[in-house]
A and B are shown apart, each in its own frame.
Chain A
C-alpha cells in the first residue's frame, strides 16, 4: 500500500535552533517528493520538489534530502524563526498519469512550533 509517514507528529523548538523533520514512504513507482509548508488557516505552499536523481535541494533556510534507496527524506530548518511555526507536509508522487502530476500521496504532516 502506498503510504507516507512523517515524524515527529509535533515538535517545539526555541527560536534560532535547528531542527530536522523526517519522512518515510512506500510509494512505488516513485516520481518525485515534495515538502510543503502549511500555515494555520492557509493552503500548503511548496518548499522543494526532488526527483529520484536529486539527493538534496535547498530553499533559503530549508534543506531537503532524499535517499531513494531507503525511501527516506528529511527537511532541515536552520536558524528557526517564529514564522517557521506551521505544519510541514511530505508528499510523494507516483508514476505520472493524467498529466504531469501523477498520483500524490500526502503525509499527515509535522506540526512545528517555534517559541521565543
Chain B
C-alpha cells in the first residue's frame, strides 16, 4: 500500500513570509496528525484530526499556525507569518481508528531565514 505522502520535501523562506505544507494520508486512515520536529528533539504533536474534525490542537500556536482537513482525507498546514524558531521538520502521520500504529510521511524540512 502507498505510504503517507508529503510535499514539498524542502522549503526555505524568509521570516514573516507564509508557507503551506500538504499531506495525503494512507487510504482509509481516519486519523491524521501533524508534528513539528526541531533538530535533536522528538516530534511534538501540533494537531490531530479524526476524519475532518479536530481532536487535539492544544499545542498548535494558533496565532500563526492553521490546519485543515476539509474532506477528511488530505490536509494542509499553514504558517503565517513564519518566525525563525519555526525552522524544523514537519511530519504528517496517519492511523486507522482501531490500530495502534502511526505511519509517518517523509516530512517537510522548513528553513526560515
Partner of B42, one of A41, A49, A101, A108: A108
- Assess the B42–A42 pair: CB atoms within 8 A: no
B88 interface residue per 8 A CB criterion: no
Residues from chain A with a CB closer than 8 A to the CB of B109 are: 41
Across the interface, name the chain B residue whose C-beta is closest to A104: B45
- Assess the A89–B42 pair: CB atoms within 8 A: yes
* Secondary structure class of chain B's binding surface, majority of residues: loop
Least CB distance, B13 to chain A, in whole angstroms: 19
Partner of A106, one of B42, B97, B98: B42
Q: How many A-B residue pairs have CB under 8 A?
A: 61
- Assess the B50–A98 pair: CB atoms within 8 A: yes
Partner of B43, one of A42, A44, A93, A100: A44
User: How many chain A residues touch B (Cβ–Cβ < 8 Å)?
Assistant: 23
Q: Given A98-B48, A98-B50, does the pair A43, B107 have CB atoms closer than 8 Å?
A: yes
Where the two chains meet, the residues of B that have a C-beta atom closer than 8 Å to any C-beta of A are 4, 30-31, 40-45, 48, 50, 55-56, 91, 93, 95-107, 109
Q: Kindly list 12 other residue pairs between chains A and B, CB separation below 8 angstroms, not including A42-B106, A43-B91.
A: A41-B109, A43-B4, A43-B93, A44-B43, A98-B56, A100-B97, A100-B100, A101-B31, A101-B48, A101-B95, A103-B56, A109-B42
